[in-house]
Chain A
Amino acid sequence: MSVVLMPILVLAVAGLLFGLLLAVASKLFKVEGNPLEASIDQLLPQTQCGQCGFPGCKPYAHAVVSGEADVNHCVPGGERVMLQIADLMGVEPKAIEEEPSAPMVAFIREDECIGCTLCIKACPVDAIVGAPKQYHVVIAEDCTGCTLCVEPCPVDCIDMLQTPELLEHWSWPLPGTARAELAHERKYGHA
């Protein structure tokens, strides 16, 4: 009988002991991250789009907690996320930055570009190519339309253009947006 019982007992006791050891250790050596930062990060949509101007959702959560950024920069999260973050941070809700009704891309007027590379540095998704004193070009496919490059341009040669609605990147419009209303109008005429 002990031939069977002994190994079971030894293994069970050893497993229990190691389990207890780990359980105690996990309490003892717990590392405190900022719980507020973690819960804000959880609210964010985790698309890592960079439209808030930070390199991802976690950095944005960090910036909100440390007071470097306002609560209203998350474009994909929209008003709902902004309200939740404002609630968590205990600050007044702020109007969300207006979402462009149609997807926009940046366009550089090449004959005016002086090749200063400032917009290249500003682009969060590396969608602008160019070299010093050569004019720069926006890679339209990679451009998220965040408008971050417009501000730093010293000669104001960057336009935000509406992308033509092509079949290969068409998607269903989100309900309640201007685009959805436009589609409804086109289909059913004016109500």
Chain B
Amino acid sequence: MEDYLLILVSVVLVNNFVLAKFLGICPFLGVSAKTETAIGMAFAVMFVMTLASVSTWMVQHWLLQPLGLEYLQTVFFILVIASLVQLVEMVMHKTAPLLHQALGVFLPLITTNCAVLGVALLNVQKELDLFEAALYGLGAAVGFSIVLITFSGLRERLDGAPVPAAFKGSPITLITAGMMSLAFLGFSGLVKG
């Protein structure tokens, strides 16, 4: 139980995917202009990352390792994640149109995002078991969501702030992201690994 908690704290705060590992920067900067879209994106990421962790773990341990084809990881993981997300999107469109309306736009955006692929590859690297892998994926997504939603809140406030003309737009956004990353460095002593 303690192990699981450790994994969760480690991946949510200490080794945060965006601010410590620098994965998934693209959606972090791209979809954070409005809190509303950021929340939609956050839920989509949670869903996809957990799904990706579980499915790639199965592929890795039940297909690639027995055949000795571990070096095909990257290609295989992309194939599996992209197809599964596409499949789920179709099923969702048919069975849960409301959910699809909320998540639908974001799902194809993040199918083979580097953070999603990163979760899959790190799971293998860390030699986690199936449940731990799922937890790791969920934790990574929760960490991503926390950062994304806070950042979007910051950006919304910055819109109304008297920013000097030279720093308006992208520069102040990037500076804010850097400062957030510095702030998250404060967690680095919390858990080892």
List residues of chain A with CB under 8 Å of any chain B CB: 6-7, 10-11, 14-15, 18-19, 21-22, 25-26, 29-31
**Residue B67, interface by CB 8 Å:** yes
Provide the main secondary structure of the chain B interface.
helix
Asked whether, in the complex, the Cβ of B93 is within 8 Å of the Cβ of A21, the reply is: no
Q: How far is the CB of B93 from chain A (nearest CB, A)?
A: 5
Asked whether, in the complex, the Cβ of A29 is within 8 Å of the Cβ of B67, the reply is: no
Q: Given A11-B75, A15-B79, A21-B83, are A6 and B67 also a contact pair (CB < 8 Å)?
A: yes
Q: How far is the CB of B73 from chain A (nearest CB, A)?
A: 11
**Residue B69, interface by CB 8 Å:** yes
Among B76, B79, B83, B94, the residue within 8 A (CB) of A29 is B94
**Residue B98, interface by CB 8 Å:** no
| Further pairs besides A10-B72, A22-B83: 16, Cβ < 8 Å | A6-B69, A7-B69, A10-B63, A11-B75, A14-B79, A18-B79, A18-B80, A18-B83, A21-B83, A22-B86, A25-B90, A26-B90, A29-B90, A29-B91, A29-B93, A29-B94
Q: Which residues of A contact B95 (CB under 8 A)?
A: 29
List residues 38-86 of chain B with CB under 8 A from any CB of chain A: 63, 67, 69, 72, 75-76, 79-80, 83, 86
Q: With contacts defined as CB atoms under 8 Å apart, how many contacts are there between chain A and chain B in the complex?
A: 40
Q: Which residues of B contact A21 (CB under 8 A)?
A: 83, 87
Q: Given A22-B83, A22-B86, are A10 and B67 also a contact pair (CB < 8 Å)?
A: yes
In the complex, A100→B76 CA distance in Å?
60
Provide the main secondary structure of the chain A interface.
helix
Q: How far is the CB of B100 from chain A (nearest CB, A)?
A: 9
Q: How far is the CB of A182 from chain B (nearest CB, A)?
A: 46
Q: How far is the CB of B88 from chain A (nearest CB, A)?
A: 10
In the complex, A21→B87 CA distance in Å?
8
Among A11, A18, A29, the residue within 8 A (CB) of B72 is A11
In the complex, A15→B63 CA distance in Å?
14
List residues 79-120 of chain B with CB under 8 A from any CB of chain A: 79-80, 83, 86-87, 90-91, 93-95, 97
Asked whether, in the complex, the Cβ of A25 is within 8 Å of the Cβ of B69, the reply is: no
In the complex, A31→B63 CA distance in Å?
34
- Specify the chain A residue showing the minimal Cβ separation from B75: A11
Q: Given A21-B83, A22-B83, are A11 and B76 also a contact pair (CB < 8 Å)?
A: yes
Q: How far is the CB of A102 from chain B (nearest CB, A)?
A: 39
A–B complex contacts, Cβ < 8 Å, 16 sampled: A6-B69, A7-B72, A10-B67, A10-B72, A11-B72, A11-B79, A14-B76, A14-B80, A21-B83, A22-B83, A22-B87, A22-B90, A25-B87, A25-B90, A31-B93, A31-B97
Q: Given A15-B79, A18-B79, are A25 and B72 also a contact pair (CB < 8 Å)?
A: no
Q: Which residues of A contact B63 (CB under 8 A)?
A: 10, 14
